[in-house]
Structure 1
Amino acid sequence: MEQLNSGGSILELWDIQQGWIPFLDAFLTEATEYKLRHKGDYLDVRIQDIPLPFYQQQGCYYTAFITPFQFGELKVYINGGNYETYIYPDGRKMTVEQFTLMLVEILEEANCCFQLSGLETQVSASGRNRDISWTQWCYIEQSFFQLKQLFPKIEKQPFRHLEKFSMTMKREKVKQSEHLTLQWLDKSGHGDVIPSNVQNVKILETSNLYENQVLKQQLHELYRLLRQYERLAFEGAAGKAAKYKGVVERWLNSPFLTEITENKGPYSITQKFRKHPVYRLWYLWFDNLYKHNREGIGFDYPISLKDTFQLYEMWCYMKIVKILRESGFVLNTSGLFKTTKDGIFLNLAENKVSQIHLTGGLSIYYQRTYQYDSKDFHTYTQRMIPDIVIEGKKDFIIFDPKYRVPNNLGTALGEMHKYRDGIINRDTGKRAVRVVFILTPTKDEQLEGLRYFREDFQQTYGLGAIQVLPGFEDEYLKGKILKSIKSLRG
Structure 2
Amino acid sequence: MERLNSGDSFLELWNNHNGWIPFQEAYLTEATEYKLRYNGNPSDVRIQGIPLPFYHGEKGYLATFITPFQSGSLNVTVNGQGYETYIFPDSRKLTEEQFNQMLEDILEEANSCFQLSGLEINVDSTGRSRDISWTQWSYLDKSFHQLRQIFNRIQRQPFRSLEKLPLMMKREKVERTERVTLRWLDQKGHGKDIPLNVHTIKTFETTNVYENQVLKQQVHLLYRLLRKYEMLNRDDVARKARRYKLVVQRWINSPFLKDITENQGPFTITQKFRKHPVYRMWYQWFDQLYKHERTGIGFDYPISLKDTFQLYEMWCYMQLVKLLREAGYVQDTRELYKTTREGIFLDLAENQESRIHLLGGMSLYFQRSYQYNSKTFHTYTQRMIPDIVLEGATDMIVFDPKYRVPDNLGTALGEMHKYRDGIIHRDTGSRAVKGAYILTPTHENQVETMRYFQNDFQEMYQMGAIKMVPGEIGNQLKRKVEQFIEKVSV
User: In structure 2, do the counterparts of structure 1 residues 274 and 341 end up closer, same or farther at CA, with 3 Å as the change threshold?
Assistant: closer
Tell me if 1:406 matches 2:403.
no
Q: Residue 132 of structure 1 aligns to a residue in which SS?
A: coil
Residue equivalent to 1:440: 440
Cross-structure match for 2:58: none
In the TM superposition, 1:255-404 aligns within 5 A as 255-297=255-297, 302-303=300-301, 305=303, 307-339=307-339, 344-404=344-404
Q: Take 1:441 and 1:431, find their aligned partners in 2: how far apart are those partners? A: 29
In structure 2, the CA distance between the partners of 1:262 and 1:339, relative to structure 1 (3 Å rule), is closer
2:121 corresponds to which of 115, 120, 123: 123
1:222 aligned residue? 222
Aligned mates of 2:90, 2:192 — CA distance in 1: 75
Letter in 1 for 2:137: W
Report the secondary structure of 2:317's partner residue: helix
CA gap 1:285/1:479 in 2 versus in 1, 3 angstroms: farther
> C-alpha separation between the residues in 2 aligned to 1:477 and 1:364?
14
Structure 2 gaps of 5+ residues are 1-27, 36-43, 55-62, 75-86
Q: Secondary structure at the match of 1:439?
A: strand
The CA distance in 1 between the partners of 2:371 and 2:51, in whole Å, is 37
Contact 2:405 2:412 in 1 (8 A): no
Q: What is the deviation of 1:382?
A: 2.5
In structure 1, what is the Cα distance between the partners aligned to 2:215 and 2:100? 24
What code does the residue aligned with 2:230 have?
Answer: E
For the Cα contact (< 8 Å) 1:337–1:347, is it kept in 2? yes
CA distance in 2, matches of 1:285, 1:462: 47
Residue of structure 2 equivalent to 1:478: 478
In the alignment, which residue of structure 1 is the partner of 2:250?
A: 250
Structure 2 residue matching 1:294: 3-state secondary structure: coil
**1:249, distance to aligned residue in structure 2 (A):** 0.5
Q: TM-score, normalised by structure 2?
A: 0.73
Question: What value does the CA root-mean-square deviation take over the aligned residues?
Answer: 4.2
Q: Specify whether residues 223 and 353 from structure 1 end up closer, same or farther in structure 2 by C-alpha distance, changes over 3 A only.
A: same
Consecutive unaligned residues of structure 1, counting only runs of 5 or more, are: 1-27, 36-42, 56-62, 75-86
Q: Is the partner of 1:273 in helix, strand or coil?
A: helix
Alignment identity in percent?
60
What amino acid maps onto 1:256 in structure 2?
F
- Following superposition of structure 1 onto structure 2, how do residues 177-188 of structure 1 map, counting pairs within 5 Å? 180=179
Corresponding residue number in structure 2 for 1:156: 156
Contact 2:181–2:198 (8 Å) recurs in 1: no
Distance 1:340 1:259, change over 3 A: closer
Asked if structure 2 preserves the Cα contact closer than 8 Å seen for 1:435 and 1:463, the reply is yes
Deviations 1:424-483 (A, max 9, x none): 344454433222222223354664534433333333332222232333445443333223
Letter of the structure 1 residue corresponding to residue 208 of structure 2: N
Task: Map 1:74-223; keep pairs closer than 5 Å.
Answer: 92-119=92-119, 122-127=120-125, 130-163=130-163, 174=175, 180=179, 204-223=204-223
Residues 1:215 and 1:462: Cα distance change in structure 2 (over 3 Å) = same
Structure 2 CA distance for partners of 1:471 and 1:132, relative to 1, 3 Å: same
Q: What CA deviation, in whole Å up to 9, does each residue of 1:160-205 have, x standing for no partner?
A: 345556675886994xx67649957995999999999988876654
- The 2-side partners of 1:433 and 1:70 are apart by 37
Equivalent pairs, count: 428
- SS of alignment partner, residue 434 of structure 1: strand
Question: Is the Cα–Cα contact under 8 Å of residues 372 and 378 in structure 1 kept in the other structure?
Answer: yes
CA distance in 2, matches of 1:146, 1:140: 10
Could you give the per-residue CA deviations for residues 140-167 of structure 1, whole angstroms, max 9, x where no partner exists? 2233233223222222333334555667
TM-score, scaled to structure 1: 0.73
1:125 is aligned with what amino acid? V
Stretch moving more, 356-365 or 447-456: 447-456
Q: CA deviation at 1:321?
A: 0.9
Q: CA deviation at 1:363?
A: 1.4
Distance in 2 (CA, whole Å) between partners of 1:66 and 1:204 is: 59
Distance (whole Å) between structure 2 residues aligned to residue 105 and residue 116 of structure 1? 18
Q: In structure 2, do the counterparts of structure 1 residues 449 and 253 end up closer, same or farther at CA, with 3 Å as the change threshold?
A: farther
Partner SS, residue 485 of structure 1: helix
* Cα distance in 2 for residues equivalent to 1:339 and 1:68: 35
Work out whether residues 108 and 295 of structure 1, in 8 Å CA contact, stay in contact via their aligned partners in 2.
no
Decide which structure has the larger Cα Rg and report it: 2
Deviation of the 1:222 alpha carbon: 0.8
- CA displacement at 1:70 relative to structure 2: 7.2
Distance in 1 of aligned mates of 2:189 and 2:70: 76
Q: Aligned pair in 2 of structure 1 residues 338, 195: CA closer, same or farther (>3 Å)?
A: closer
The answer to whether the Cα contact below 8 Å between 1:171 and 1:195 also exists between their aligned partners in 2 is no
Residue 482 of structure 2 aligns to a residue whose secondary structure is helix
Letter in 1 for 2:477: L
- Residue deviations 1:14-38, cap 9 Å, x none? xxxxxxxxxxxxxx99636899xxx
Q: 1:489 aligns to what?
A: 489
Counterparts of 1:315 and 1:331 in 2: how far apart (Å)?
Answer: 20
Residue 131 to residue 217, structure 1, CA distance change in 2 (3 Å):
same
Give the secondary-structure state (helix, strand or coil) at the position aligned to 1:349. coil
The alpha carbon displacement at 1:387 in A equals: 0.1
1:53 match: 52
1:319 deviates by: 1.6
Classify the secondary structure of the residue corresponding to 1:293. Answer: coil
Q: CA deviation at 1:327?
A: 1.0
CA distance in 2, matches of 1:32, 1:256: 45
Structure 2 CA distance, aligned partners of 1:402 and 1:357? 25
Conserved 8 A contact 2:233-2:342: no
Secondary structure at the counterpart of residue 149 of structure 2: helix
CA gap of 1:184–1:346, structure 2 versus 1, over 3 A, is same
Q: What is the identity, as a one-letter code, of the residue corresponding to 1:123? A: I
